[in-house]
Structures are given as C-alpha cells and as structure tokens.
Amino acid sequence: MSYINESIIYNIYPLGYCGAPRENDGQLNYRLDKIYDVIPHLKKLGINTLVFNPLFESSRHGYDTIDYRKVDCRLGDNASFKKICEALHTNGIRVILDGVFNHVGRDFFAFKDVQQKKWDSPYCGWFQNLHFNGQSPYGDPFWYEGWAGHYDLVKLNLQNEDVVRYLLDSAVFWIDEFGIDGLRLDAADVIDVNFFKRLKSTCKQKKPDFWLYGEITHGDYNRLANAEMLDSVTNYECYKGIYSSHNDHNYFEIAHSLGRQFANGGIYQNIYTYNFVDNHDVNRVASVLRDKNHLNNVYTMLYTMPGVPSIYYGSEYAVEGKRTRDSDYDLRPCLDLNNVPGANYQLCEHIIRIGKVRMALEALKYGKFENVNIQNEKLVYKRFTENQTVFIAFNLTNHEDRVGFDSRCTATLTDVLNNNETFHANGWTEVHMPAYSARIMVVNDGSFKLDLNVENESAPVEQASPEPEIEIGAKYRHYKGHEYEVLHFAFNTETKEKMVVYRSLSKPEEIWVRPYNMFRETIWKDGRQLKRFERI
C-alpha cells in the first residue's frame, strides 16, 4: 500500500491563496512564505499531505507555464520554496505539485523561439499541429492547436521525444532538488497515455512511493489509473453525488455511485481515488449546499468512503465562492487561514474530529465497502477488513429519527464520533439519530474506545513549559509587529469556544476577536517557531 492510504490531503491554489497579481509583474515576492504560519493549523486538521496547484513560473493563472523548473516569482524563488518543502517534511507533511504537462503559455521559451525564428526554430515539433499554412487567432504567422480552444494555452506534442524528455527531466528535477512526493496531472484525460507510462516509470525509479493522480472529470477511471500509468484519479462522480444527494434528499444517488465503484464487483475496487467536495475549478461546497446544516455529514461521508479525502483551503471554515460567467477567481481567494472572516469553527472542529477517527480506524483507510441500508434521507454503509468492521450511518433530516440496519452480528457498536456512545447489536439494530447527524460505529467486544480530545502526533508541537494565561488589560505584540490590548474574553454561542477580544493600539477603533488558544499559540515563520502574540 502507498503512503496515500494513511493520508489526509490539503489542497492550496497558491496564486490565489497568496493574493498574487493576476498578471505576472516580474517582481520577486516571497508571498508563499505565509505557508509557515499555517503549519500548526494543518497539523491540527491531521493533514499530512499538501497539494499545491500550479506554482511553476507562468504568465497569469499558473496553467500557462513559462518555465517548468522555476517557482513563479510572484510566490518566491526556488531557494525559498526548497525551505518550505523542508519545513513541511520536518512536520510530517508530504508535498505534491501540479504538473501541467498538456499545454504551456505563449511565453514558454520554446514557443517564443518559434515566434522569433519561425520555421528555422528547432522547437517547431514541440507543439501539436503547428504549421505555417495559416495564421493563429493571436496573429502569429503560423497555426497551432490550443487546449480546448484556448489559444493562450499552447498544446504540447507529447509524441515528440525532446518534449517528453524535457518534461520527464523536469519531474526528476523537482524530486531531486525539493524531495516532492507526488504529482497531480492536469487535464489527464487528454494526455497521451504513453507519456504517463514513461512518467510513472521515471518517478517510481527515483522514489518508489511517489504518487501520481490525474484530473479526470468523466469516463472510465481504469483507462488511466492502472499498474502501467497513474496511481489514481479525481473522483468527480462522487464529488457530484455527495452534495447532490444532500440537496435532493436522495441518498440513493451517492449510494449508487459508491456501490458501483467500490462494492464487491465494483469497477474501481483497485483504485484509491482522490476524493473531494470542492476545488479550484468548481463552486465551494458551502455555496452549493442548499442547507448548510448538511456540511458535517458531507465531510463525514468524504472521510469515511473508500479513497483519500482532500480539503480545499478555507473550506474547513465553510468559506463560500462561486464561479461566474466571466471569472473563477472567487473560487481562489487570498486567505489568512488563521483569521478567516465569518469562519465556521464548528465545522473545522468536526473535520478535526473525523480526521482523528479516520487515522485511528484501519477499516476506513484500507477496508472494503458495502451498502447496508439505503433510504432517501437515511443511509448506512460499512467499511471492513479482516480485523475490523465499522458501520457509518447518516440522517440528513431536520429532525431526530431512528435508523435501522442488519449488523449481521451480536456485538457492541461503539460510536467513536459521538463520545463513544454504545449500542447493542443483535442482527437487526436500530440507533437513535439526531437531526443532520452521522454515527461511526465500530464493532467490538465492548472495550473499544477512541479519545478524540487527546492530541496526537499530528497536533502542533507544544512548548516544553506551559504557556502563560492571557490577561485582560495586558498588551501584546503580534509577530508581524502590530501591538494590541486585550479588552475582554467572550464565548462562541454555538461551540462555547473561548475567544479573546482585543483592540489595536495604533487604531483603537479596530476591535478584533480571535480564539483564545489561537491567540496564545506558536506559529511557523521562515522555518522558525514564534509566539503569535508576545506579551509586551
């Protein structure tokens, strides 16, 4: 098995997350260093694999590559990113990059050479269907194929040996110099499958557990995810099924997809799919759900279905965003993940809990799948190995109800998601379900318990001595230099979480609120741990 079975993935779109200019201004700025600040947050979430969408030098959005071996100057440089990779690896977080190998931007060096030298350029064969019998939509004295009709994205000729060698050497460069652990393959459904065969062979020789997954929105996953090519693909079928089944109060939809894919006889039993509920190309799930009370169940399903779960940055706080007719930039906002406006901390806490459950249960990481009871508004399925069986039950109604299912055993069911509440199973079993809730029930002899409040190895590194309590009236300096006075404490009405209320000393009219534990925690900056707020 790959390390991916033991993973929870976090996905960041760097240019948006860092607030980079939409057009490459050529100015070096170490914006991506802000990642140091969120390492403790990632570890609280149980994240141990981080996927960066494009960060190679590009003209605009990252998918119009200029240089495959250089970090986009709007984010930093190779030296700064190497330190980021080292810090992430030190904290037990693997790094996967977005490999955009289907097309390049018009500023790509080889395409610029064709523009300058025309038919005398040695790179004419690098691009798909490039010929001098016509004119491009941009006025070039030659024609070329643009990806999906977008002529700012010049399609590469992946049957050209020089192109293939250049891309393979680029992948090796990132493995050797930065120690990356995998690649996301953009537009995988239109890439030459022979290229994937060579890419897999090359990467696995360098790093046997290197993980390759492809972006594919439809079609047969087995065509690309198999022993010869990619390890996995994006599971768009279940992405749609998860939110749609909640919106339509129709669990038959997602149950059909899960059964078709993963049950005994399922077509994707041998693929550990990349699972998600939103990403940089689709509307945020908090914007898609008609009833946000379903968010907890959505993520519980994501974490308990077969495959690896992935969180898109900010969605753990229910950040919203929809693409418009003219732009998808709202899907890729600049965020301070330690201070998200309107953050849903209850959802984040839930995701932390289900992350701990997932990592603790063998059946959720390695188990087979079987639908047990499917109703419009209730669903029970099980995950099981030879050593462990877990029943996962969902109630998407707005009222308390009972959910019944055939446990096929006489045993104790311990709901590790809800304070280890126990139920006696003797064949047909019924459990009480609060509104909008889920249960994750482990079959056992009555002795099994899981403490979700105990910090595990994924938790932020604590200082050897306890942090002093925050005091009302005391003044503190933020690690970025601004100074504040603590005014009072408050409590979140929903979660009862303790909050710090404080004001800026330079702008007294600015009043801020931050979770108490976050106020006094340490953060990572340039590879060093600092106090977020130091008492003056």
**Cα–Cα dist 193/190, whole Å:** 9
Written as six digits, the tokens of 467 are: 């942090």
Q: Would you state the pLDDT for residue 109? A: 97
Over pLDDT 90: what percentage of the chain? 89
Nearest Cα to Cα of residue 2 among 448, 288, 215, 308: 308
114-123, 422-431, 513-522: the lowest-pLDDT one: 513-522
83-92, 307-316, 456-465: the lowest-pLDDT one: 456-465
Q: Could you count the other beta carbons within 10 Å of the beta carbon of residue 162? A: 13
Report the half-sphere exposure of 428 (CA within 13 A, side-chain side). Answer: 3
In angstroms, what CA-CA distances link 9 with 5, 212, 361? Answer: 11, 14, 17
Contact yes or no for 232/222 (Cβ under 8 A): no
**Cα–Cα dist 217/237, whole Å:** 8
In angstroms, what CA-CA distances link 471 with 209, 223, 518? Answer: 49, 61, 15
Written as six digits, the tokens of 283 are: 């509307």
Q: Would you state the pLDDT for residue 340? A: 95
Contact yes or no for 236/307 (Cβ under 8 A): no
Written as six digits, the tokens of 440 are: 């994750």
Pairing of β 308-312 and β 274-275: parallel
Confidence of residue 526 (pLDDT cuts 50, 70, 90): low
Q: How is domain 3-101+159-362 classified at the architecture level of CATH?
A: Alpha-Beta Barrel (3.20)
Longest distance between any two alpha carbons in the chain, whole Å: 79
pLDDT > 90? residue 430: yes
Written as six digits, the tokens of 212 are: 């390759």
Contact partners, residue 115, CB within 8 Å, separation at least 6: 140
pLDDT > 90? residue 336: yes
Q: Is 314 exposed, middle or buried (0-12, 13-18, 19+ CB in 10 A)?
A: buried
Which CATH number describes the domain made up of 103-157?
Answer: 3.90.400.10
Q: Would you state the pLDDT for residue 1? A: 53
pLDDT tens digit sequence for 485-497: 999 999 877 666 7
- pTM for this entry: 0.85
The secondary structure of residue 336, as a DSSP letter, is -
**Cα–Cα dist 513/529, whole Å:** 23
Confidence of residue 520 (pLDDT cuts 50, 70, 90): confident
The secondary structure of residue 357, as a DSSP letter, is H
3-state helix, strand, coil in the chain (%, to 5): 30, 30, 40
pLDDT tens digit sequence for 272-289: 999 999 999 999 999 999
pLDDT > 90? residue 90: yes
pLDDT tens digit sequence for 344-367: 999 999 999 999 999 999 999 999
Q: Is 488 exposed, middle or buried (0-12, 13-18, 19+ CB in 10 A)?
A: exposed
pLDDT > 50? residue 376: yes
pLDDT > 70? residue 463: no
Q: Would you state the pLDDT for residue 467? A: 54
Q: Could you count the other beta carbons within 10 Å of the beta carbon of residue 82? A: 15
Contact yes or no for 391/380 (Cβ under 8 A): yes
**Cα–Cα dist 243/285, whole Å:** 7
pLDDT tens digit sequence for 201-215: 999 999 999 999 999
Q: What is the mean pLDDT of the chain?
A: 94
Contact yes or no for 235/290 (Cβ under 8 A): no
Contact yes or no for 45/12 (Cβ under 8 A): no
The secondary structure of residue 4, as a DSSP letter, is G
- Residue extents of the structural domains in the chain: 3-101+159-362, 103-157, 364-444, 475-535
Phi, psi of 211 (to 5 degrees): -115, 125
pLDDT > 90? residue 522: no
| Mean pLDDT, residues 381-395 | 98
Phi, psi of 146 (to 5 degrees): -95, 145
pLDDT > 90? residue 531: no
Assign domain 475-535 to its CATH superfamily: DUF1653-like domain (2.30.30.320)
pLDDT tens digit sequence for 14-34: 999 999 999 999 999 999 999
Q: Would you state the pLDDT for residue 480? A: 86
Dihedral Cα 524, 525, 529, 533, nearest 10 deg: -90
For 364-444, CATH number out of 2.170.190.11, 3.40.50.2300, 2.60.40.1180, 3.40.50.2000 equals: 2.60.40.1180
Report the half-sphere exposure of 356 (CA within 13 A, side-chain side). Answer: 21
pLDDT > 70? residue 529: no
**Cα–Cα dist 321/524, whole Å:** 28
